[in-house]
Structure 1
Amino acid sequence: MESVTVTTVFPDYSSENYPDDGLCDLDPDPMDVITQTYIHSIICALGLIGNTLVITTYIFYKRTKTMTDVYLYNVAVADLIFVLALPFIIYNEQHSWSIGPVACKILRSAYSINLYSGMLLLACVSCDRYVAIVQARRSFGARSRTLIYSRLICSAIWLFAVALTLPTLVYTELFIEQNLGDETVSVMCQLSFSKNETAKLMKVVVPSLQMAIGFLLPLIVMVFCYSSIMYTLLKAQSSQRHKAVRVVLAVVAVFIVCHLPYNVALLIHTLSLFRERSCEAEKIKLHVLAISRSAAYLHCCLNPILYAFIGVTFRNHFWQIMLDIWCFSKKCIFHARSTRRTSDIRMSSDGSNNLTSFSA
């Protein structure tokens, strides 16, 4: 079997340099590209609708009343950022990145920011649930007073996620590659390095940071916190407490299921960097990476579904949003709102129908 030394470019893992006697065409199969485009389009549509509903619920209906609310609101924001970037990534991959180098850098950084911020925020959710349930007596009355700290923690996580994304932002460039066997040229948005030493370092550091800080560290925190929570719930035999953490536990479980295959595939790929390996084995590995990466993208649209079908409060608010949208389309929102026996409606002084505030 033909052996080649393949140097990959993270995060797309396309071919970059080959020895003269071992050329290997790692371009994806056109059918695979079309299939992934459809899958990513579905993820984008569902993620856009779901996360917009979550954010709308928190802003106008539910409000962020607890630390967990603040964290989950920021998770939805992180998912929405990536979902908005995904169609531009899909379009430019099909049209040789006609949007330009600046957009190339920003769009390729969107997933990294989403990964770091989303996973670390879910780790914070597990810590907050741990304090509220396992340390309930010690934390009684204190969590409401520390709501401001949750916003500071979220701000710190966002800054940390941006800092971890800087290598991707700095080194991502439009990369021109001559296709094998013909005279066509491919324009790709990938990490590009001027020095071989820098390339070797960053191709190990970037995926290692993603696996260690973006997955392994939050996973350890979640396993510890939720194991303690489950132990406490079993001793207390309280169904109400179980329901209180069920939605968060489901969200974390889905997040792990989505990201574990990609991180395992990424670890195997990183360990094989700069080693001689067969062309066929490399193609299979890149195919697995592409599939598992799509599964990782899937979490962006699964979190809102979990809120709708498991969280009773969120489900009620979602139905209320649908009713309000229906009322608005029928031009009766003013009448519907005026008949509610709540004090959450603030009408403008001139009697217009503009609704400035919603809460529940």
Structure 2
Amino acid sequence: MAENDDYLERFFMNDNYTGNEDNVVHEEVYLCKKSDVIQFGATILPTFYYIIFLLSLVGNGLVLCIIYKYEKLSTVTNIFLLNLVISDLIFASSLPFWAVYHKSEWIFGRGLCKLVGSCYSIGFNSSILFLTLMTFDRYLAVVHAITAARKRRSLYAFVSSTVVWVLSILASIKDVVFHDVMKIENSLLCEMTGYNQSFLTKWELTGYYQQFFLFFLVPLFIVLYCYIHITIKILSTRMSEKCRAVKLIFVIIFTFFICWTPYNVVILLKAIKTSFGNPNDCSNVLDYAMYITRNFAYLYCCISPVFYTFLGKKFQSHFLKLLSKHIPCLKINAAFLSTTSKTTSIRSPNTDY
């Protein structure tokens, strides 16, 4: 631990080292000592990252298993759900690397530094976009059922999914370009480096505003708009379980808001501080807040397919069928829930939440 403290001390007292002697810019830069924050992250983050990784692996693996055994990829909903699972697994695959990094140093080399950084960005961004896309598709299926029936085809799902992946990859290019390994004495870091500090700060600000506006405000507006109209539509029908459907909509919006808002508010505050704040202000409040709120966003990002999947009775029935193969006493419950879900889908095929 003493060795780790010495490393942190060396890093934050270092002038402006970039890891590439040809790109070193000799300018006076005031650096804040963040060793307490880094030590806090080294203590808290690895455990959270491993837990989120395992939850994502088990939960998303279960969703994949159910889709493979009981569902078809010919439906728009399942195509979007499969893409959401893939994006979450891509994101979760980066977490063990970051856990090791926060605990000690970057030991995986330059190539993995860029690859893991890009997987983290692509998975994280595509996850929130696919959640938004699934919400919009649900809005079409419920509010514009007759019109959407002709348009919600496999081609529409594949094209929409491709657009999401392209946007996510474009947003991650800066991580591939700027992330690199830099050596400070005997310790290795995987950070944005290789250019002068003012240039990197501009790109850091671009990332902050991109995250807040493109990957939070726009999705939040779409989610609220769609679910408000879905709720109005459900309440105007004679659907037998409309109270349950409205409650589930409230749970979805509430969970989305609680998990994503604190993190993105911190992102915005960091952007404002970087743009207009005193450069000599070394307050650690936002850094601690970032560590804490980011984990809620990560957790929601990784368990969202499970959350969305098992809100529907159809998938609950599939899950019970899967368990009943190993637990015989669940066979009756599985059969009952299967019958109930079929009845519900006949009465209201577009509102299986």
**Alignment map for 1:230-245 (pairs within 5 Å):** 230-240=231-241
Structure 1 residues 132 and 23: CA distance shift in structure 2, 3 A? closer
What CA distance in whole angstroms lies between the structure 1 residues aligned with 2:31 and 2:161? Answer: 47
In structure 1, the residue corresponding to 2:296 is in which secondary structure? helix
Q: Separation in 2 of the partners of 1:323 and 1:211?
A: 44
Quote the residue 1:226 is aligned against: 227
Separation in structure 2 between the aligned mates of residue 65 and residue 110 of structure 1, nearest angstrom: 28
Of 17, 25, 44, which residue of structure 1 is paired with 2:33? 25
Output the TM-score relative to the length of structure 2: 0.76
Kindly provide the amino acid, as one letter, of the partner of residue 26 in structure 1.
K
- The alignment partner of 1:227 has SS state of helix
Q: Are 1:157 and 2:158 an aligned pair?
A: no
Question: Which consecutive unaligned segments of at least 5 residues does structure 2 have?
Answer: 1-11, 17-26, 329-353
1:21–1:241: structure 2 CA closer, same or farther, 3 Å change rule?
A: closer
Deviation sequence 1:143-179 (CA, Å, 0-9, x none): 55x22210121022112211111011111111334xx
Where structure 1 has 5 or more consecutive residues not aligned to the other structure, the ranges are: 1-13, 178-183, 328-360
Higher strand fraction (1 or 2):
1
Cα distance in 1, alignment partners of residues 190 and 212 from structure 2: 22
Superposed CA deviations along residues 5-45 of structure 1, whole A, max 9, x for unmatched, are xxxxxxxxx89868979653112353542222112211111
2:129 corresponds to: 120
Residue range with higher mean Cα deviation, 160-169 or 298-307: 298-307
1:1-360 matched pairs, under 5 angstroms: 24-27=32-35, 28=37, 30-139=39-148, 141-143=149-151, 146-177=153-184, 185-240=186-241, 250-251=251-252, 253-273=254-274, 275-276=277-278, 279-281=281-283, 283-307=284-308, 310-324=311-325
What is the Cα deviation at residue 265 of structure 1?
0.2
Structure 1 distance, partners of 2:176, 2:252, is 29
- The CA deviation at 1:105 is 1.0
SS at match of 1:238: coil
Equivalent AA in structure 2 for residue 40 of structure 1: Y
Change over 3 Å in CA distance of 1:233–1:222 after alignment to 2: same
Q: CA RMSD in A?
A: 2.9
Go from structure 1 to structure 2 and tell me whether the alpha carbon gap of 1:323 and 1:103 turns closer, same or farther (over 3 Å shift).
Answer: farther
CA drift of 1:93 comes to 3.3
For the residues of structure 2 that align with 1:16 and 1:316, how far apart are their CA atoms? 59
The answer as to whether partners of 1:307 and 1:314 remain within 8 angstroms in 2 is no
| Helix, strand or coil at the partner of 2:236 | helix
Larger RCO, structure (CA 8 Å, separation 6 or more): 1
Taking structure 1 as the reference length, the TM-score comes to: 0.75
Query: CA offsets, 1:183-203, max 9 Å, x none?
Result: x65422111142345323212
Q: Indicate conservation of the 8 Å contact 1:207/1:266, yes or no.
A: yes
